[in-house]
Structure 1
Amino acid sequence: MKTPEHCTGLPDIRHAIDTLDRQIIDALGLRMHYVKAASSFKPDQASIAAPDRVASMLPQRRRWAQEAGLDGEFIEGLFNQVIHWYIAEQTAFWLQKKSKAV
């Protein structure tokens, strides 16, 4: 993948964007594996949401975005959606594991 400065046309740009999007999706998939693994350490369904953890994560993601020159408000909102989706997925996974164990 060429750096933005070395791209010679839209095909180079589109290839790089597609490559990056694939890496983002792969990273989200890996994150999901960790989220599901975390369910093994959750004693009950109520502990999955971890509101204190979420409350500390969102401002941190905002700061990271700002440090990277991105819109912190947008990234915080994006991660809010991402985190709540993972919480829902982890809850479903936890319940599924629990029902199989009974």
Structure 2
Amino acid sequence: MNKAVTCSSLEEVRSNIDVIDRKIVALIAERGGFVMQAARFKKSTDDVKAPQRVEQVISKVRTLAHELDANPDVVEAVYRAMISAFINAELVEHASLTSNT
């Protein structure tokens, strides 16, 4: 299900990548908004780290990668990095929320 069009130049490839990058960053921002909301519902830092949930997400996105004809190893690496960064941000948010109660 690869939707990449055939490009006739490197500039065209880069232009298409730039369009996709804007969409990816917008989706990461949207995902981040939900991550920050999740901090309100978690009682401890262990709840924020949630290693079992991380593995559920990794399993889910690897399956999606296969379905969408993406490289599952690349998808997993990207998600592990993203989740790690979001956990760090959520830990800060969680600490802020729990120090104010």
The two structures share one fold, judged by TM-score above 0.5: yes
| Structure with larger RCO (C-alpha < 8 A, sep 6+) | 2
* Paired AA for residue 4 in structure 1: V
- State the TM-score, normalizing by the size of structure 1: 0.82
Partner of 2:94: 94
- Structure 2 distance, partners of 1:53, 1:93, is 19
Q: Are 2:40 and 2:97, in contact at CA under 8 Å, matched by a contact in 1?
A: no
Partner of 1:4: 5
For each residue in 1:26-85, what CA deviation from the matched residue of structure 2 results, as whole angstroms up to 9, or x when unmatched?
A: 110111100000011101222111111111111111111111111112211221111111
Partner of 1:44: 44
Partner of 2:67: 67
Count of matched residue positions in the alignment of Structure 1 and Structure 2: 98
Q: CA deviation at 1:8?
A: 5.9
- Structure 1 distance, partners of 2:20, 2:78, is 17
Q: Are 2:76 and 1:76 equivalent residues in the alignment?
A: yes
Identity, % of aligned pairs?
24
The unaligned stretches of length 5 or more in structure 2 are none
RMSD across aligned positions (CA): 1.8
The unaligned stretches of length 5 or more in structure 1 are none
- Structure 2 distance, partners of 1:14, 1:39, is 37
- Structure 1 distance, partners of 2:20, 2:35, is 22
Q: Which runs of 4+ in 1 moved over 3 A?
A: 7-13
Q: Are 1:65 and 1:75, in contact at CA under 8 Å, matched by a contact in 2?
A: yes
